[in-house]
Structure 1
Amino acid sequence: MPTLDDTRTAEPADARSTTEPAAGAAILDVLRAAAGTYGDKPAVVDSTGAGYSYREFLAAIEAGAAWFRDRAPRPPVMFVPGNGPDDVVALYAAITAGSVPLVADKTWTAEECARIAEATGASAVLASVDSALDRTTLPATDSPWPKLWWAELGPTRRNERLDGIGFGRFTSGTTGMPRCLGFTQQAAVNAANAWRRSAELTDRDTVLCLATLNNGLAFNTSLLSVFLSGATLVLHAGRPIPSSIARSIRKVQPTVLTAFPFVFDGLVRGSSDIGRGLRLSVSSAAPLSPETADAWQALTGLRICDYYGLAEVGPVTFNDSSAPGSVGVPLHGVEIVIEPVAEVDEADGRGRVLVRTASMAARYLDEREPFFADSLTDEGFLRSKDLGRLDEAGRLWLVGRLGQVVNVAGRKIDPTEVANVIRELPGVTEVVVRGEQSASGELLAAYVESTTVDRAAVVAHCRGRLAVYKLPQRITIAGSLPRNAAGKVNSSALSTIGE
């Protein structure tokens, strides 16, 4: 069994080497090549040191694949992971067996999972013991992994849309029930290789991932890309609170830290001596407050790098922190085009962000419209809902979302502009600005996360930076805003604040 000390002392034959995937390589090909090169070097462990060397990792995946072939009625299988080494093994075992795991969010309720299983034809579920699913309501049995349980879901329709699909990932579901996107194995290999190149991962790296495995921040930056590089992946084994996370950072001494913005918010408030050995800090999924970014730099000497990705296409850009506010330049193999749209001022090159990557989804795995192809241009670019612009250096700057314009008494207001202004106020860690209905029509509402500012401070700050008609008419301040497992604010729960 590898230990964290092995991570720091083991010297591979070529300490700067990487495993370059062959064209058409399946995920198991990549993992076999890595096991052949790195052998007893730690591949994936938790912050206590428990986990797998590269050789053990491969063997565990192949044994797990045999279990799936014996037990799974038919693909797809819903997979609700925790955040440990066995969860990573189970994921790749299911892919290797052809069981097509649909990687779900462990916070989803039984009702949500049941609706998604019906829509996708999932025949069984493999779920973490710390997920929101209750195994007592299903014919659950044990699995080869102590913290995962297994249950067949009974008769469901056969999914005819799985040809060539290796696994499924879900959209955020912010505008309705999450939709499952089907990806080929090659798409995952392409995404991993693109991230490896941009983040310059090598076998000298130790990557501590604090994001949930179902989220793109972890899936695209901290799984296959790590193994492709011969690096070591460490998953936090303690409670998801700042003091426990800080202890893990001090023990592991990672070179790369991947986390949601709210994790960095917590770390800068009470931690010290956690930057030793770090060369890269990566954040995504939600805006990072300038105050947190500055505090992190003072604490560690590093700027936090931004990563931008879309569920439908995988990782898109990487900002090495040289241009704060930008989401960076396109990754290897990624193309971005800005499409003019009527409702946006084109004076500074703003428009809809179109993206084409080598890691795009193949299709949705349900039969609902619109179909995935309906979101693509004739040239194969995804029409995102993001608004942005490209600067002369090719960096992408996001400026808003299509369909978010709020009409207040005939005045059109971009909520993103207002939110960005409020986020600059010291003491504010998160902001959501949106249109809401009132008895007199639509108004602009702001939800501000802070323990130090009040309504008067928000209004005074906005008055000096925004036209009067852009000031929010409804301002709600809370010590913490409701969030999902990915750290994004749960918009549907905002109206319950203060109840």
Structure 2
Amino acid sequence: MLIDVITQAVRAHGDAPAVADRQSSLSYRELDAASDRRSADVRRLLPGRERPRVGIQAGNSVAYVVTYLAVLKAGCVPFLVDRASGAQETRVIQEDCGLDLLVHEESTPVPEHGSRCGVLRTGPLHTTRFAVRHDRPDLHDETEVCRFTSGSTGRPNCIEFRGRAVHRAAANWADGTGLSGGDGILCFASLSNGLAFNTSLLSAFLVGARLHLGSGLPTAGAVSRMLRGSAATRLVGFPALYESLVRRPLSAEALPDLRTAISSAAPLNPATRQQFVDRTGVPLQNYFGIAEAGPLTFARNPLTDPGLGQPLPGVELRAGGDGEPGVVEVRSESMGTRYLNAPKAFESRVGADGFYRTSDIGCLSNGSLVLTGRTSQVINIGGRKIDAVEVSEALAGAPGVRDAIVLEVADRHGTSALAAVLAADPDLDPAGPRRHLARRLAPYKIPSLVRIVAEIPRSSSGKPATAALRRMFDDSENVQ
């Protein structure tokens, strides 16, 4: 049982500082007591329900961590939902997974078939209880945590994890990266995202490290102040955080305790990485993991590593052969079991030998994983995974739009951006389709660049003419 592992770890560290945000902090002893109290509240809300399903959709906070532990202690299965999910996405998750409760912030768009109940009020968090759904899919017998990833059908895939897989992800990360009780982690990535969930939550508790949670826009000033105030030795965030930091004066003297910086596997501009290292002397490590298999690599020496690092303990990788790139395949102790809401889709990517076929193309160079491309239509913008099919289909349903294609391009700064080409009349205002998306999808799924054409250019087989589409954004300053 995952909660047994967590409780044992938490109780081993007594009065040492455990978790803090900008407003509050708890020692390990206080975290254990607070989660005990909240678990009783959860149980009172769900009388008679078997293995209740509790969604948590909120920003990083002490209250989030207390709620996560409380849900596990109450014998429930937590479903970690991206805070940025829009109303339609939250509704789809409720329909597909049959949540019993959703713990959320007051501003979260909640599906209509719920009744608000204020029993589990923890700081900024509220609770909505849903009617019992008898047609929901059955959980795997050993599932203890569920997380989400973009699905190829335009619906978020719900990944089921055994407790052992969650534990091994955290333990192998701590072991493989040298995390210890003397470390302090400042994490700006959302705890629902693998970058944070695998590197900064249970891994910190296993060794007795301090977890400091950043929230809101990670401006250079906010990050610098929190680094100094927390004496953090590790910084975890998406590429945009580091791009913000290097745009202002930055030096090693300003960050006296920082020893390691970790970014997501989203492409980090090499110039940004080099500027950060030159100014601070702190290695900036690209984290590589996938939602279905957990953390996978870490560079022993990120200053000289040619790629994303070597396999972590409990991880096996293979990619390409004879010097040629190929599909990256992975087998790990932290692998998920299946998708709750997409039968056989997960299993279809796992071979007879237990290796999961990812959507990445790459090769191994002196033991380090070097990625060279992707095989799917999932786009990675600043660490956020975006299903191009989902956004295209939503745009095609906007008034005045006949067809739509979504793709990744470089903006005028050379940074990856989400772009859309819309087949519509030339006088269509792009603000209309954007408002249409905003009512349905998360803000990060709204294209920042839009081009309107009479018809989408396609090949004779009907496939979008990718090269022609990308050329439309060569001069992004003139794109709406």
Bucket of the pairwise TM-score, normalised by the shorter protein: 0.7 to 0.9
Identity across aligned pairs (percent)?
Answer: 34
Give the distance between the partners of 1:83 and 1:42, measured in 2 at CA: 17
Which of 434, 437, 443 lines up with 2:465 in the alignment? Answer: 443
Using a 3 Å threshold, how does the CA distance of structure 1 residues 277 and 430 change in structure 2: closer, same or farther?
same
The equivalent residue for 2:375 is 402
The equivalent residue for 2:220 is 242
The equivalent residue for 1:282 is 262
**CA contact under 8 A between 1:243 and 1:271: conserved in structure 2?**
no
The equivalent residue for 1:386 is 360
Deviations 1:73-98 (A, max 9, x none): 45222221221011011112112222
Normalization by structure 2: what TM-score?
0.78
The equivalent residue for 1:55 is 29
The equivalent residue for 2:314 is 333
Instruction: State the Cα distance separating 1:334 from its structure 2 match.
Output: 0.3
The equivalent residue for 2:398 is none
Instruction: State the Cα distance separating 1:295 from its structure 2 match.
Output: 1.2
| Aligned partner letter, 1:93 | A
The equivalent residue for 1:269 is 247
Which of 47, 70, 92 lines up with 1:93 in the alignment? Answer: 70
Which of 113, 121, 129 lines up with 2:98 in the alignment? Answer: 121
SS state of the match for residue 335, structure 1?
strand
Give the distance between the partners of 1:353 and 1:166, measured in 2 at CA: 27
Using a 3 Å threshold, how does the CA distance of structure 1 residues 478 and 107 change in structure 2: closer, same or farther?
farther
Q: Within the alignment, does 1:429 sit opposite 2:406 as a pair?
A: no
The equivalent residue for 1:4 is none
Equivalence map 1:347-426=2 (5 Å): 348-366=323-341, 368-391=342-365, 393-403=366-376
Using a 3 Å threshold, how does the CA distance of structure 1 residues 77 and 159 change in structure 2: closer, same or farther?
farther
Instruction: State the Cα distance separating 1:338 from its structure 2 match.
Output: 2.4
The equivalent residue for 2:138 is 160
SS state of the match for residue 88, structure 1?
helix
Matched positions, count? 408
The equivalent residue for 1:19 is none
The equivalent residue for 1:180 is 158
| Aligned partner letter, 2:309 | G
Give the distance between the partners of 2:29 and 2:197, measured in 1 at CA: 22
Using a 3 Å threshold, how does the CA distance of structure 1 residues 166 and 296 change in structure 2: closer, same or farther?
same
| Aligned partner letter, 2:473 | I
Instruction: State the Cα distance separating 1:349 from its structure 2 match.
Output: 3.1
Flag structure 1 segments of 5+ consecutive residues without an equivalent: 1-25, 340-345, 405-418, 448-471, 480-496
Using a 3 Å threshold, how does the CA distance of structure 1 residues 32 and 389 change in structure 2: closer, same or farther?
same
Using a 3 Å threshold, how does the CA distance of structure 1 residues 356 and 347 change in structure 2: closer, same or farther?
closer
Give the distance between the partners of 1:350 and 1:435, measured in 2 at CA: 31
SS state of the match for residue 139, structure 1?
strand
**CA contact under 8 A between 2:473 and 2:479: conserved in structure 1?**
no
Instruction: State the Cα distance separating 1:236 from its structure 2 match.
Output: 1.6
Give the distance between the partners of 1:218 and 1:176, measured in 2 at CA: 24
| Aligned partner letter, 1:443 | A
Give the distance between the partners of 2:468 and 2:265, measured in 1 at CA: 20
Instruction: State the Cα distance separating 1:158 from its structure 2 match.
Output: 4.0
Q: Where does structure 1 differ by over 6 angstroms across 4 or more consecutive aligned residues? A: 419-423, 432-437
**CA contact under 8 A between 1:275 and 1:301: conserved in structure 2?**
no
Q: Within the alignment, does 1:139 sit opposite 2:115 as a pair?
A: yes
Give the distance between the partners of 1:135 and 1:376, measured in 2 at CA: 34
Deviations 1:129-160 (A, max 9, x none): 35x32599842122141211111122423432
The equivalent residue for 2:471 is 473
Give the distance between the partners of 2:352 and 2:112, measured in 1 at CA: 49
SS state of the match for residue 101, structure 1?
strand
Equivalence map 1:245-324=2 (5 Å): 245-273=223-251, 274-319=254-299, 320-324=301-305
RMSD: 3.0
Give the distance between the partners of 2:79 and 2:103, measured in 1 at CA: 10
Bigger CA drift: 182-191 or 54-63?
54-63
Instruction: State the Cα distance separating 1:400 from its structure 2 match.
Output: 0.8
Give the distance between the partners of 1:110 and 1:440, measured in 2 at CA: 33
**CA contact under 8 A between 1:433 and 1:445: conserved in structure 2?**
no
Instruction: State the Cα distance separating 1:99 from its structure 2 match.
Output: 1.4
Which of 25, 30, 45 lines up with 2:20 in the alignment? Answer: 45
Using a 3 Å threshold, how does the CA distance of structure 1 residues 298 and 421 change in structure 2: closer, same or farther?
farther
The equivalent residue for 2:433 is none
Flag structure 2 segments of 5+ consecutive residues without an equivalent: 378-406, 423-454
Instruction: State the Cα distance separating 1:420 from its structure 2 match.
Output: 12
